[in-house]
Structure 1
Amino acid sequence: MSAEQAFKARVHVMLKDGVLDPQGEAVRHALGGLGFEGVEAVRQGKVIELDLTAADAATAEARVREMCEKLLANTVIEKYSIEIV
């Protein structure tokens, strides 16, 4: 059995295309009010960083994917991507 290794995972969570993003729209409006013209759309998301241990990078990614499906992302309205760094 191999030893566990330390990994850092970065999860990017964004609303799916077509889902209304009121926070993004508020940011777009505020940018216009500050003189930043030409910003036609803003989508706001979140980044989650995790430090974890696993046997290898593939196992780490599989565990993080399970975390996303169960807690970190609302997969009905959000999409996510995972980076093992």
Structure 2
Amino acid sequence: MIAEVYIKLKEGVTDPEGEATKKALNLLGFKNVKRVSSVKVFRIEIEGVSKEEAEKEVEEMCKKLLANPVIHDYEVRWVD
């Protein structure tokens, strides 16, 4: 099983990487770009457990390491 975990900043949290990228794109002539947000993706392959156990493990991974609940939201997508 493969889980893709998307980590993004919560609404209202400053995204300096996204802002710098937007500025650079605008300077390169891409004037229609109004907003850029950075998103981090972790692709995690899990073996030897049921789908339910894998879901629980990935949730724990997010809460313990991958996402900071103060500033991040996350979404888990399962790849078939």
Shift of 1:74: 0.9
Alignment: residue pair count: 79
Unaligned runs of 5+ in 2: none
After TM superposition, where is structure 1 displaced by more than 3 Å over at least 4 residues in a row? Answer: none
TM-score using structure 1 length: 0.87
TM-score (structure 2 length as normaliser): 0.92
Residue 60 of structure 1 aligns with an amino acid whose one-letter code is: A
Q: Secondary structure at the match of 2:75?
A: strand
What are the residue-to-residue correspondences of 1:10-29 with 2, within 5 Å?
A: 10-29=4-23
2: CA distance, partners of 1:33 / 1:77 = 29
Percent identity for Structure 1 against Structure 2: 44
CA contact (8 A) 1:8 1:52 kept: yes
> How many Å separate the matches in 2 of 1:50 and 1:74?
18
